[in-house]
Amino acid sequence: MTDGHHFNNILLGGRGGTNPGQFKVHSGGLAWKRQGGGKTIEIDKADVTAVTWMKVPRAYQLGVRIKAGLFYRFIGFREQDVSNLTNFIQKNMGVTPDEKQLSVSGQNWGGIDIDGLTSMFVTLASVGNMLTFMVGSKQAFEVSLPDVAQTQMQGKTDVLLELHVDDTTGANEKDSLMDLSFHVPTSNTQFVGDESRPPAHILWETILKFADVGSSEEPVVTFEGIAILTPRGRYSVELHLSFLRLQGQANDFKIQYSSIVRLFLLPKSNNPHTFVVITLDPPIRKGQTLYPHIVIQFETEAVVERDLALSKELLVEKYKDRLEESYKGLIHEVFTKVLRGLSGAKVTRPGSFRSCQDGYAVKSSLKAEDGLLYPLEKGFFFLPKPPTLILHEEIEFVEFERHGAGGASISSHYFDLLVKLKNDQEHLFRNIQRNEYHNLFNFINGKNIKIMNLGGDGQGASGVVTDVLRDTDDDAVDPHLERIKNQAGDEESDEEDEDFVADKDDSGSPTDDSGDEESDASDSGGEKEKSSKKEASSSKPVQKRKHKARDDEGQEKKKPKKKKDPNAPKRAMTPFMYFSMAERGNMKSSNPDLPTTEIAKKLGEMWQKMSGEEKQPYIQQAQVDKKRYEKESAVYRGEATVDVDSGNESD
């Protein structure tokens, strides 16, 4: 393979649990992605400092160490994969993988080695953030020093290490390492001490240097009374060197930074709050519910000032380019910067998408919960409840649908967005305002995401607008389009209004229905108006008025409303209606405070001022729609038939 090698069912080792996924090695580096989505690890070849192989039970383990001091273990390779990967890594990365052997003798005594100091039987090597216990030249076990919560001396000869236990599901295993201790006799010659500082004390100081646990019990910074929407409650958020703690009245969560996948900073549109989302893998558990996303809500305009409880030496050595001594600014910005500096997680902010109100999201609903749908550069995020993250690469297709719930007046103003994932899971985002269609469609189309109802009639996006935004039932009238149409006065409807028929002898006089109700005008004014109308109509021949049918009790029978045939063809749309649908969203976004009636007037004025050349695209759309309507009407009236085999019409 010229582009690299792919391996499935490769486990990522560590305290976060053994998660299976896909491993890929290519000319640019290494990558691992969790099966089913979630955590992703990408390592550039320039950051790789060492690669090791080790035979473990039933498989081989590939160890990769990077410049930042992190060490990754990938487990599940076959014996025949070792030589192929070794040659590929050596050729493309310039690093020669070393082979290590696993000690199975059970020996647990001997000397100690730190940073190259060797002894006769046992060595303890601390490189970067890994502490490896060696038996001779073979590895017995290794411990990640960032997982060390506390270390202390027990007497003069023993060093005790206590490991972190967090509240993520990855740590909920049957067997979990809680603590271990090393015995360093006073006769040890590798670490020469004195009466006040025995050899064990020197080992303890060295572990403190690598693990940075001296002040781990004291938080670096604390944010009090933070509103968290998921899991719901008000918490005190403590940021420590290697973990964060959420302390509430009823719940207390401890989360390792290694479980944080990504941070999201998403402002609300036209709202004084901002979301900060912490995405976890593995998630935390509360009862039987898993929470892969911690949704925090900050007041956008709140300003805070915080000093970090870190020594200057630690800031220079470990957090030189990531943290500062103090911060002052908006609370969500300060929180995100400090958490990003401590955890090393990347931050995702809103991308290029803008709504009609120039916001970063569109209002929608998911599973009967109202919220905001954020179209991001690499995915969609629905907040606040249930927080749902959908990556673009996981999407098989999207489909724009007519809003199916509610009456005609409701469905004509909204549409739905169906997102189908490659694992056959579906997410239906409902009640999206119709004026958000163009921006949302252009964004999705620009990301090369497959749109199922894009249409094949050559109309492109405008064809989708017509199909999605036009109502299924002709009786469902859009009041905005009707008002625009009436004020523009461009064309009349193809069908007559059957509810109103003017009699020829009326000459514009009030009908019987209008005469049943009394006018608010005075009696004298009403009589003068009636007499003038009679005089105006006296010159015309008098015809008998048709008497309205009455029932047995003398009351007039109401004419039953003619039901619309669902099989009847949909009426053709006028050129102005195509123009109004195309421009109404832009008009409303540029004039958000303008009333609907004024928007209709402005659209009508724009249409009247347009030249024939400018109107031509909309006229062509109307002509195509009119031909469609005429053909379907002919088939409906029985004047033409459709050949089922060929699809052609015949008289």
Question: 3 and 96, same structural domain?
Answer: yes
DSSP 209-247: HHH--TTTTS-SEEEEEEEEEETTEEEEEEE-SSEEEEE
Domain count, the chain: 5
Task: Indicate whether 552 belongs to any domain.
Answer: no
pLDDT value at position 12?
82
pLDDT tens readout for residues 441-476: 999 989 999 988 765 443 444 445 445 555 444 444
pLDDT value at position 466?
47
The tokens describing 273, both together, are 């709050």
Q: Name residue, tokens 């915080």.
A: 306
pLDDT value at position 255?
87
Contact present, 426 and 416 (Cβ < 8 Å) = no
pTM, full prediction:
0.56
pLDDT tens readout for residues 90-142: 888 888 888 887 777 777 765 544 443 344 334 444 445 667 777 777 777 77
Q: Is 354 exposed, middle or buried (0-12, 13-18, 19+ CB in 10 A)?
A: middle
Question: 344 and 392, same structural domain?
Answer: no
Q: How many CB atoms lie within 10 A of CB 466?
A: 18
Question: 229 and 332, same structural domain?
Answer: yes
Task: Indicate whether 526 belongs to any domain.
Answer: no
Question: 195 and 147, same structural domain?
Answer: yes
End position of a domain, from candidates 214, 241, 275:
214
Task: Indicate whether 580 belongs to any domain.
Answer: yes
In angstroms, the first-to-last Cα distance of the chain is: 62
What CATH number is associated with residue 43? 2.30.29.30
pLDDT tens readout for residues 477-530: 444 455 555 554 444 444 434 333 344 344 343 434 434 444 343 344 444 444
What phi-psi label fits residue 102: left (phi over 0), alpha (psi between -120 and 50 degrees) or beta?
Answer: beta
Query: Is the omega angle on the peptide bond into residue 375 within 30 degrees of 0, that is, cis?
Result: no
What CATH number is associated with residue 606? 1.10.30.10
What is the enclosing helix (H) or strand (E) of 416?
A: strand 414-421
Q: Name residue, tokens 């590798």.
A: 190
Question: 344 and 233, same structural domain?
Answer: yes
- Report the alpha-carbon distance of residue 568 to residue 493 in Å, rounded: 16
Question: 368 and 318, same structural domain?
Answer: no
Percent share of the chain, pLDDT over 70? 69
Task: Indicate whether 10 belongs to any domain.
Answer: yes
Question: 94 and 43, same structural domain?
Answer: yes
Question: 429 and 338, same structural domain?
Answer: no
pLDDT tens readout for residues 556-593: 556 666 666 777 788 888 888 888 888 888 787 777 77
Q: What residue numbers bound the domain in which 170 lies?
A: 104-214
pLDDT confidence band for 387 (50 / 70 / 90): very high
Question: 253 and 181, same structural domain?
Answer: no
Torsion angles phi and psi, residue 629, rounded to 5: -65, -40
Question: 229 and 205, same structural domain?
Answer: no
Going by C-alpha positions, the residue among 196, 202, 280 that lies closest to residue 246 is 280
What CATH number is associated with residue 141? 2.30.29.220
pLDDT at 274 over 90: yes
Going by C-alpha positions, the residue among 542, 562, 559 that lies closest to residue 550 is 559
Task: Indicate whether 151 belongs to any domain.
Answer: yes
pLDDT value at position 468?
56
- Least confident piece of the model among 13-17, 177-181, 255-259, 418-422: 13-17
- At residue 302, the 3 state secondary structure works out as coil
End position of a domain, from candidates 179, 214, 249:
214
Task: Indicate whether 244 belongs to any domain.
Answer: yes
Mean pLDDT (whole number) for 315-335: 88
Task: Indicate whether 531 belongs to any domain.
Answer: no
End position of a domain, from candidates 323, 348, 373:
348
Does 300 or 543 have the greater pLDDT score?
A: 300
- Report the alpha-carbon distance of residue 516 to residue 522 in Å, rounded: 16
What is the enclosing helix (H) or strand (E) of 154?
A: strand 148-154
Please give the C-alpha separations between residue 144 and each of 32, 135, 220, in angstroms, as whole numbers: 20, 18, 21
pLDDT value at position 276?
95
pLDDT value at position 180?
82
pLDDT value at position 111?
52
pLDDT tens readout for residues 155-197: 888 888 877 666 665 544 556 677 888 888 877 666 676 777 8
Going by C-alpha positions, the residue among 291, 253, 295 that lies closest to residue 273 is 295
DSSP 97-132: PEEE-B--S----S---STT---SSEEEEEETTEEE
What is the enclosing helix (H) or strand (E) of 418?
A: strand 414-421
Question: 231 and 309, same structural domain?
Answer: yes
Longest Cα separation, the chain: 134
Question: 186 and 75, same structural domain?
Answer: no
Q: How many CB atoms lie within 10 A of CB 472?
A: 12
Task: Indicate whether 496 belongs to any domain.
Answer: no
